[in-house]
Amino acid sequence: MIDMFLYDDSEKANVRFVSFLGESRHDLTLIQTDRHYGKTIVLNTQSNKFGIIGRDDLEEEGYIAYVLGISEAEAEEVTEFLNDVIH
């Protein structure tokens, strides 16, 4: 039984599906809304992991690999891509 909702909001989102090849293949979904302080929800559809990522997170060593469930080498490729699309 649900006693209380903490929130139940709807809002429009900008959703981008992208797949690219580097040393390995990357399949990502990027969701941008006004909800997460300007950060982007990045889903790795291969590992079923996601992170709420902003510019500051891209600079934190090991963060992208950890939240997206990928190797450090793969994270370098993904970070290079995200640097171009996350503002």
Q: Say if 9 falls within a structural domain.
A: no
The model's pTM: 0.90
Q: Say if 4 falls within a structural domain.
A: no
pLDDT at residue number 49:
98
Q: Confirm if 26 and 74 have CB atoms less than 8 A apart.
A: yes
Strand positions, DSSP E, the chain: 14-21, 25-32, 40-44, 49-53
How many CB atoms are located within 10 Å of the residue 21 CB? 8
pLDDT at residue number 66:
97
pLDDT tens string 15-73: 999 999 999 999 999 999 988 888 999 999 999 999 999 999 999 999 999 999 999 99
Q: Say if 6 falls within a structural domain.
A: no
Does residue 64 sit in helix, strand or coil? helix
Q: Say if 71 falls within a structural domain.
A: yes
- Domain region containing 55: 14-85
